[in-house]
Structure 1
């Protein structure tokens, strides 16, 4: 870029994004940034200004199609910003219809049954590394557990589950444009049309909104995406906070496990999706007194807005006025928020209950963060602990057989080995 824009990509930004937000905020509540090489955008850092944008779809629409025609096909941010007919990229009556179907389907999920499944699955994952006395909680736990939960509520059989996980990972890694995920979800939709069950996919297909085939695939792909990167980061970032932050770490050995408080702190100060909520004004608009150009991405910095000095930083315990789940008509639906909080809380509690003497294997400053403008994601979370007594769980038995398929152009091979090993019982 030739103009003075701050890069939101690369290791410098990933190492300390809050330092970047503080510097940018000195010039006002918005700032010119670069989200990928030669891809300009505007970042909203003010809490009040973020709410202004999120609550005004008339001036800040979600449709990116005019903008995306100006971006090279290989652009790494395009997979997460290109138009799809889902409730994330639509407005008005179409958005209301699609969002209503998703909200109604998620509201039917039995969270008590889901929590039981999550705890059993979490225990099974822990059983696999507990005898070693060490683990990478990101690779061996946080990355695997959320999508096991998502594929459960979608009623996906093992072979399709593996493809969904592979596709979602490739999408967030910027190595696939989403076709792999779409292909896997389309297989699931076809299976549920012929044999519906008590699951979110079947409920969506039967909803009075009358979703087309493409709309159904895109809503489910969105649910799977939201259940991968954001939830894995919520779990891992909360575990990191509990392990390295003296406000929380001191309570671990005393039996008082402030998991809910730690979860809220992460959603305030280290949200799993740090910058997103993208809108595309169709004409030049003013945000916080600064002009925003037409047909250029305007990103909400959830991490920056949540730490805006204009917002009282005191008394965050129990305070859920953060923007980690968005705001306005495009905020994460209430049932999805409930499932996300339950998943994050239960996942962290299982680790702390099973491994009470858990401690970080490296200093906090040595932890590495993945580069990228959107997420706040650890590359790994190495820990150590005394191996607990081995437990035999009869329900772990042999998993359902997995039919292996040859990798195709839209089917990444072996991209999530931990999940594949889980499905094969290895």
Structure 2
């Protein structure tokens, strides 16, 4: 195969290693290194696993809207990857809406959208409030907490267990398994296995006895999904909904608490929590590098020769850093809920349930600050640490303190 001259230079450049610990600690320098290569950079997602990374907004939109040239199906790529690769849990082909194209993708996506449309906003708000109340009541009397391990992650486990139809007692299984898959480290394979067992148990329970939950609605959908197909749609939605939403909440809380003036406007009600959530989506998105595509055949894309069956990753994180730098240099104002970011992706594979995600995140933060209006960070934001992995932007912890209180003396509204 013959490569254009610019392709030779591209492939001779050192790949930016997104799997390193340094990426989690200082993503900006890694994104700068990628952007220095042009709109499409050269990276490694794991040792010896190359990928192209799109860091330019125009290039990202071109890719996301072109279904003729690009596919979401990774099966040809998988043939070249060791079966124990730590990133397979996030990239392996499955019969669900994310990893399929064409009519099959439309069928799966419609089933998911229709099921989530049955979740009324007021009902989802109540579920979030109940979960926050359980967690806040458990830590309110101590005066200290870690808002990652004791709030954001267990909150999502409680909410999504409830939405998909399992009791609160199963939430720890979900939380631990998804975290291991997302980290993409040594425990990723074990996490994927645990996550699979959790979902098989869930679908089996709902197949035996329906309920008012997403799993039951998928099983009864008019499109007639098989139990196996339902299993893989649930696998996708739990994975895509749980960990990124937990990180959205903790990332937003870290920004809020790291700026006392910002926090005071939120707790007083003069500034909506949505501002902080959208700020995170724009500049520090929880799913930093994903939207993975594969060229259907070798092609030139924004000046780079792209081989088939090599992952092409959208760096939402790099796009966010670029937008933040541009905003810092501009005096122009912007509506806080504008759609300038691409955290929801774009095109046929854009997130179908973004309004549900926004509601969960904003209600969770608002309810927590009603319970504990005097939250104070114990670690300066610039000293917080982040979990390693090429895909996410995820805090390891967010320690806070507050005046201890009993449940009867909390500020939570009934």
Q: Normalised by the size of structure 1, how large is the TM-score?
A: 0.87
Matched, 1:183 2:200: no
| Deviation of the 1:29 alpha carbon | 1.1
Q: Is the 8 A contact 1:50 1:305 kept in 2?
A: no
CA deviation map 1:1-28 (0-9, x unaligned): 9851111122211112123213321331
Partner SS state of residue 34, structure 1? strand
Give the 3-state SS of the residue equivalent to 1:376 in structure 2: coil
Higher helix share: 2
Question: 1:131-167 CA distances to partner (integer Å, 9 max, x unpaired)?
Answer: 1111100000001111211111111134554433443
In structure 2, the residue matched to 1:156 is 166
Query: Is the 8 Å Cα contact of residues 137 and 406 (structure 2) preserved in structure 1?
Result: no
Task: Give CA deviations for 1:397-422 in whole Å, capped at 9, x if unaligned.
Answer: xxxxxxxxxxxxxxxxxxxxxxxxxx
Distance 1:251 1:346, change over 3 A: same
Deviation, 1:230, is 0.2
Alignment of 1:35-184 (within 5 A): 35-158=45-168, 160-174=170-184, 175-177=187-189, 178-184=192-198
Secondary structure of 2:290's match?
Answer: strand
* Equivalent of 2:400 in 364, 383, 389: 383
Shift of 1:246: 6.1
Query: Match for residue 235 of structure 2?
Result: 221
| Structure 1 residues 246 and 356, CA gap change in structure 2 (3 angstroms) | closer
Per-residue deviation, residues 55-78 of structure 1 (Å, max 9, x unmatched): 112211011111111111221111
4+ residue stretches of structure 1 with deviation over 6 A? none
2:217 to 203, 223, 228: 203
Three-state SS of the structure 2 residue aligned to 1:228 is: helix
Structure 2 stretches lacking a partner, 5+ long: 1-10
Q: Give the paired residue count.
A: 391
TM (norm. structure 2) is: 0.89
Contact 1:160 1:187 in 2 (8 A): no
C-alpha displacement of 1:255? 4.7
Q: Tell me if structure 2 keeps the 8 A contact 1:160–1:188.
A: no
2:344 equivalent to 1:320: no
* Matched residue SS, 2:295: coil
1:5-16 aligned within 5 A: 5-16=15-26
Report matched runs for 1:250-329 at 5 Å: 251-252=265-266, 254-308=268-322, 313=327, 314=332, 315-329=334-348
Point out where structure 1 has 5 or more consecutive residues left out of the alignment. 394-426
Q: Report how far residue 102 of structure 1 moved.
A: 0.7
Distance apart, 1:392 and its partner CA: 8.3
**1:406 aligns to what?**
none
Distance 2:71 2:324 in 1: 26
- Give the structure 2 partner of residue 410 of structure 1: none
